Structure 1
Amino acid sequence: MFLRFWIIGWLAAYLLFSAPTRALAQKDTIPPLLESLHLEQSLTFCGEPVPLDDPDVRERLEKELLLSLWDRDQAILWLKRSTRYFPTIEAALSRAGLPDDLKYIALAESALRPHAGSAKGAIGFWQFLPETARRYGLTVNESIDQRRNLDASTRAAAAYYTELFNKFGSWSLAATAFNMGEEGLQAEILAQHVSNFYRLYLSLETQRYLFRVLSAKLILTQPERFGFHLQKSDYYPPLRFTTIDLTSYEETSLTVVAEAARTDFKRIKDLNPELRGHYLAAGTYRLALPEKTPPGFKERFQKLHAEWRQKRQERIYIVQPGDNLSTIADQFRVPLAAILIWNRIDLNSPLHPGDRLIIHQPEEPAENP
């Protein structure tokens, strides 16, 4: 009798306390991978139908979709970053009269990371190579790399895609040309007598390219269908900042910019990923500053820059015979890496007697009274 009541009590407790857990688990259940491949509607890219009735096309799409779904951590970051960066991309594409679907290319190219890079030298949100970036008006040099700037690189991508579409007559081919280069694609079209992306034999990487973009589109437009149940609070907020035009007539430290904006170095670098290194070269810039930067930034900048310049002049060390970077670092009790940053030199750069180095010595701690 006791055993029967114990079993009944245990079952009641199980049903009572497991019901919310089971309901939550049911909501957040990851659909079986095979079920995820059962696309219930037609698929398009920039308004062009994807021929899923072709077994080869369906297989290629399913492969990339499975790979994207397998890397669920990455897919979650796609979703969370989309609300931070897509508004800027969507606005730029709309101004240029281009299809909204092109934004998924930036997602597939860089996972919406400004500093993403490839072994071939492509950098930034849209993975421009240096020569292509410069052709479409982006600055790429030792001080500035606008491939990392969302607004500037998206304007360049819009111009490039407009040209590619006008040349090839379809968005699928325009995307392919963006990936492999227009001359290479034109050569394959001429050699194969085929101008349909889905029927062209291309390098394995390029054959996968558009399908990676399409898998990103599917996940971003139907996250719940694939088991991604994010709340509104889970998404990253849009970028919020104010911009200011700043002319610096000589080189200055980005720390000076940060102090004038009443923020820190990291915040300035995060808002302006195109700025390379620790210094701002002489020139005119449109800088992004924290949204609530107090008024009077330019006045503070001029004052702080003058102070920084004066201190810099007072902290010049003349290299002596027998010196090397390690002995100089030990002499002034500063990290060797700091000397490299202050002087923008390579660790293997030769030193010669008479060379001038900037050394910022640490301040002595104040004595206790």
Structure 2
Amino acid sequence: MKFIKNSLALVGIISISGLFIFAMQKSPDDKAPSDYQLGKEDPIINNYNVYALEMPENLNFAGEPVPVEDPDIYERMDRELLVNTYWQSNGLLMFKRAQKYFPIIEPILEKNGVPDDFKYLAVIESGLIQTAKSPAGASGVWQIMKATGRENGLEVNDNVDERYNLEKATEVACDYLKKAKQKLGSWTKAAAAYNAGNYGVSKRLKAQDVTGYYDLLLGEETGRYVFRIVALKEILSHPDKYGFNFNKSHLYKEVPTYKVEVDTAVTDFAKFAKRFGINYKILKLHNPWLREAHLNNKSRKPYLIEIPKEGYYSAKP
């Protein structure tokens, strides 16, 4: 059974009335000014020309090389780099959201012994949108199916859905990826299994009598999956190289919070929020796993509700 279905593909070229919209890509002959680097002020907008991209050297996923010397692999990798470089609005949003959510994801990956590169898997799954939901029902940043969430200890119902709790969902994703790596033998195949399932990847490896992801003939989605991850890793790691112009002030910031433990029912979250100087909207923004305007909690289970620290929102309670 698939772990994740119908992930939200974040690649494509925007077409309006037959015209393609492209990003501002530097000429290969241009030197990369330091102003393009993350955090530098006064970035320079270069030009509107469109350039072919040089294939980066030493591309890898979790330390496992991408064999771009193979003509087929080269073309597939080139496609994902081009598509994601020249979808500039989406690319800028990824930089903005990464600044906000990577600091939450990264330490959980490290604690679980999962390579840091897997944070880019979350990018292609959901665009780092906490409330993302696929047509098949996969939900949250990590796009976890309802049954999978429950099997891995998450509470999933109409009242509480912990697939939308980024910290808990990241723990579940780590557990799945570690088991997939143990079963399939490599992090690259574990990443593919996040899309197609352990059984799906194992079945195709056996049927085609090969051992590696890059040797498999796969359907469109799984066949592009790892290449998308590597492309986003490359682009998000080198914004200046791919013509993305911004400074640190343009990026989204994580709002500091503190946690309040609740082990009883909450009849009205609007009134609950006012007790902490915020309104219902702000409470739900920081706790998207609370799916209704109240908390049933008949079992008196302890929940940790995040409350933003004072002074970060101008909205009145």
| TM-score (structure 1 length as normaliser) | 0.70
Which residue in the other structure is 2:115 paired with? 99
Checking the alignment, whether the CA contact within 8 Å between 2:43 and 2:245 is kept in structure 1 is no
Checking the alignment, whether the CA contact within 8 Å between 1:89 and 1:103 is kept in structure 2 is yes
RMSD: 2.0
Structure 1 CA distance for aligned equivalents of residues 78 and 216 of structure 2: 18
**Letter in structure 2 aligned against 1:140:** V
Deviations 1:334-366 (A, max 9, x none): xxxxxxxxxxxxxxxxxxxxxxxxxxxxxxxxx
Which residue in the other structure is 2:217 paired with? 201
- Aligned in 2, Cα 1:49/1:164: closer, same or farther, shift over 3 Å? same
Q: Could you tell me how far 1:32 is from its partner in structure 2?
A: 5.0
* 1:281-300 paired onto structure 2 within 5 Å: 281-282=296-297, 283=300, 284-292=302-310
- Aligned in 2, Cα 1:66/1:148: closer, same or farther, shift over 3 Å? same
SS of alignment partner, residue 244 of structure 1: strand
* 1:3-18 paired onto structure 2 within 5 Å: none
Q: Could you tell me how far 1:142 is from its partner in structure 2?
A: 0.9
SS of alignment partner, residue 287 of structure 1: strand
SS of alignment partner, residue 120 of structure 2: helix
Q: Could you tell me how far 1:44 is from its partner in structure 2?
A: 0.8
Q: 1:150 aligns with which of 166, 169, 172?
A: 166
Checking the alignment, whether the CA contact within 8 Å between 1:83 and 1:236 is kept in structure 2 is yes
Gaps of 5+ in 2: 1-34, 37-41, 312-317
Q: Could you tell me how far 1:59 is from its partner in structure 2?
A: 0.7
Which residue in the other structure is 2:226 paired with? 210
Checking the alignment, whether the CA contact within 8 Å between 1:42 and 1:49 is kept in structure 2 is yes
**Letter in structure 2 aligned against 1:287:** I
Which residue in the other structure is 2:62 paired with? 46
Structure 2 CA distance for aligned equivalents of residues 26 and 161 of structure 1: 38
Q: Could you tell me how far 1:31 is from its partner in structure 2?
A: 7.5
Deviations 1:155-205 (A, max 9, x none): 111111111111111111001111011111111111111121011011111
- Overall identity of the aligned pairs, in %: 36
**Letter in structure 2 aligned against 1:224:** D
Deviations 1:229-248 (A, max 9, x none): 21111111124100111122
Q: Could you tell me how far 1:62 is from its partner in structure 2?
A: 1.3
Which residue in the other structure is 2:292 paired with? 277
**Letter in structure 2 aligned against 1:137:** G
Q: 1:29 aligns with which of 35, 46, 66?
A: 46
Gaps of 5+ in 1: 1-22, 294-369
Checking the alignment, whether the CA contact within 8 Å between 1:33 and 1:66 is kept in structure 2 is no
The structure whose Rg is larger is 1
Checking the alignment, whether the CA contact within 8 Å between 1:31 and 1:227 is kept in structure 2 is no
Checking the alignment, whether the CA contact within 8 Å between 1:31 and 1:226 is kept in structure 2 is no
Q: Could you tell me how far 1:30 is from its partner in structure 2?
A: 5.0
Which residue in the other structure is 1:74 paired with? 90
SS of alignment partner, residue 263 of structure 2: strand
- Aligned in 2, Cα 1:30/1:182: closer, same or farther, shift over 3 Å? farther
- Runs of 4+ more than 2 Å apart: 23-27, 30-35
Higher RCO, 1 or 2 (CA under 8 Å, sep at least 6)?
A: 2
Checking the alignment, whether the CA contact within 8 Å between 1:254 and 1:265 is kept in structure 2 is yes
Checking the alignment, whether the CA contact within 8 Å between 1:85 and 1:239 is kept in structure 2 is no
Structure 2 CA distance for aligned equivalents of residues 30 and 98 of structure 1: 39
Q: 1:171 aligns with which of 181, 184, 187?
A: 187
- Aligned in 2, Cα 1:290/1:88: closer, same or farther, shift over 3 Å? same
- Aligned in 2, Cα 1:203/1:30: closer, same or farther, shift over 3 Å? farther
| TM-score (structure 2 length as normaliser) | 0.81
Q: Could you tell me how far 1:212 is from its partner in structure 2?
A: 1.1
**Letter in structure 2 aligned against 1:28:** I
Q: Does 1:254 align with 2:269?
A: yes
Structure with greater helix percent: 1
SS of alignment partner, residue 41 of structure 1: coil
Structure 2 CA distance for aligned equivalents of residues 257 and 97 of structure 1: 38
**Letter in structure 1 aligned against 2:91:** A
Structure 1 CA distance for aligned equivalents of residues 122 and 255 of structure 2: 17
Deviations 1:219-261 (A, max 9, x none): 100001111121111111124100111122x351111221111
SS of alignment partner, residue 51 of structure 1: coil
